[in-house]
Amino acid sequence: MRAIVVKSWLKSPSDMEVRDVPAPIPTEGELLVRIDSAGANFFDILMVQGKYQFKPPFPFTPGAEFSGTVVRVAGSVNSTQFKVGDRIFGSNPTGAYAEYIAVPALQCFHIPSTLSFEQAAGLYITYPTSYAALVLRAQVMPGEWVLVHAAAGGVGIAAVQIAKALGARVIAAVGSASKFDVCWAQGADHCINYREPDWTNKVLDLTDGMGANVVFDPVGLVEKSLKCVAWNGRVVVVGFAAGSIEKISANRILLKNVAVTGVHWGAYVLNEPERIPEVWDALFKMAEERKINPVVYTPVYHGLESAKDALKAIANRETYGKVVVKPSVLSSKL
Ligand SMILES: NC(=O)c1ccc[n+]([C@@H]2O[C@H](COP(=O)([O-])OP(=O)(O)OC[C@H]3O[C@@H](n4cnc5c(N)ncnc54)[C@H](OP(=O)(O)O)[C@@H]3O)[C@@H](O)[C@H]2O)c1
């Protein structure tokens, strides 16, 4: 099969090379999946450069999210759970920029009937993160104002859709007006540009001076957001896309009775595994009821050689929703 193979740390993803390698052999409890679509992430860029917290041993194939078709079931995977031909999506620390992946069945789910392979490829990380942030951490209530930062990004779009599905009112904040249309299409009630200096006043105006009840922050805008948060507001720290970790003035938290909280979805598996099925059941129900509808950035990138272009677009902050690479396996044999 063909796969991107990294044999030493790269200067940039544009140095990634596609090679012919043996297809992985699934071991006990694993599925062999023919990958239809791989979800691209900013951390892929860091990983191939050796700058990510997780440094896989060489050689490795980057890529952490995928969707595809089960072609082999190994050992004692419950046959009522997965069988050859099933449409599934899943995640693994590495291996998704390839034509096939062998992955533990525990890290896979069936694709809801309402979603395409492309949509499912980017579901695994973003949607449960945003659901956990808004429901488990912020406990968003119908009618509340939710301010979503980086609202056109992967977790941001998911947060807009989930907040609307929960009956909240959404202010979508993005870094350029060119991303407003994407946010309107997800049901945002208002769009603002957080590169404009007076954006916190805009939030206050839009909420009749009250401020946002909930702030969803994957960027690193907590300090500024505290200027436009409501009494009893909840601010959820989701990430640091702007690149630095903030120091927060505690007096602002006190003044408005604010709760600043965090979400680390990947750590639920160690700390609160019982919440994981609860989150996925809620998301699958929302998908079946078409209350959430993952957004795929266009163009979709065809061929593993185009993964470098996909990652370049993410690095340049050009993208919205999830960026998808299709390995195109039509001519490939195991
Ligand atoms: N806590 C968790 O469990 C969890 C789970 C998943 C992801 N995350 C984190 O959440 C953050 C967003 O992830 P994502 O998948 O939504 O990423 P993404 O799709 O790449 O979106 C990130 C967005 O951040 C905005 N941004 C603001 N300042 C930026 C800067 N200086 N450089 C680059 N982008 C900037 C950009 O939107 P604008 O152009 O509109 O500003 C960009 O599109 C990341 O930090 C990620 O690590 C956390």
Looking at residue 183, its pLDDT comes to 98
| Residue bearing the CA closest to ligand 1, atom 37 | 150
Give me the chain's average pLDDT, please. 95
Note the pLDDT of residue 78: 63
DSSP string for residues in 22-35: PPP---TTEEEEEE
CA of 204 to the centre of ligand 1 (A): 24
CA distance 325 to 302: 6
Fold agreement (2-122+294-326, 125-267): yes
Q: Is the pLDDT at 276 greater than 70, yes or no?
A: yes
- Is the Cβ–Cβ distance between 1 and 99 less than 8 Å? yes
Comparing 60-69, 79-88, 125-134, the range with the smallest average pLDDT is: 79-88
Q: Which of 223, 147, 219, 211 is nearest to 183 (CA)?
A: 147
CB 48 within 8 A of CB 10: yes
Q: Per-domain residue ranges for the chain?
A: 2-122+294-326, 125-267
150 CB near ligand 1 (under 6 Å)? yes
What number does the ligand 1 atom closest to the CA of 157 have? 16
Q: Is the CB of 321 under 6 A from ligand 1?
A: no
pLDDT given at position 210? 98
Any idea which residue has 């993160």 for tokens?
129
Query: How does pLDDT run across 27-63, given as a tens digit for each residue?
Result: 999 999 999 999 999 999 999 999 998 999 999 999 9
What single string gives the DSSP state of each residue in 152-201?
TSHHHHHHHHHHHHTT-EEEEEESSGGGHHHHHHTT-SEEEETTSTTHHH
Distance from the alpha carbon of residue 293 to the mean position of ligand 1, in angstroms: 19
137-187 pLDDT, tens digit each: 999 999 999 999 999 999 999 999 999 999 999 999 999 999 999 999 999
Which pLDDT band holds residue 76 (cuts at 50, 70, 90)? Answer: confident
Ranges of H-type helices in 235-328 = 250-255, 268-271, 275-288, 307-315
Q: Is the CB of 136 under 6 A from ligand 1?
A: no
* 81 or 10, greater pLDDT: 10
Cα separation, 154 vs 319, in Å, equals 9
Q: Is the pLDDT of residue 71 over 90?
A: yes
For residue 79, the model assigns a pLDDT of 58
Q: Name the nearest CA neighbour of 98 among 37, 49, 41.
A: 37
The number of the ligand 1 atom at minimal distance from the alpha carbon of 155 is 16
Mutate which of 127, 155, 276 for ligand 1 pocket (most atoms within 8 A of beta carbon): 155
**Any atom of ligand 1 within 6 Å of the Cβ of 46:** no
Residue 332: the pLDDT is: 52
pLDDT at 75: 80
- For 98-149, the pLDDT digits (tens) are 999 999 999 999 999 999 999 999 999 999 999 999 999 999 999 999 999 9
- Taking only the tens place, the pLDDT of each residue in 217-241 is 999 999 999 999 999 999 999 999 9
Fold for 2-122+294-326, please state it. Answer: Quinone Oxidoreductase; Chain A, domain 1 (3.90.180)
Cα atoms in the 13 Å half-sphere on the side-chain side of 110 = 13
Nearest C-alpha to atom 25 of ligand 1 is from which residue?
A: 150
Domain 125-267 has CATH 3.90.180.10: yes
Cβ-based burial of 75 (10 A; exposed 0-12, middle 13-18, buried ≥19): exposed
pLDDT at 328 (0 to 100): 80
Q: Is the dihedral of CA 100, 106, 109, 110 positive or negative?
A: positive
CB contact at 8 A, 155 and 39: no
pLDDT exceeds 60 at position 294: yes
- The finding on whether 263 has its CB within 6 A of some atom of ligand 1 is yes
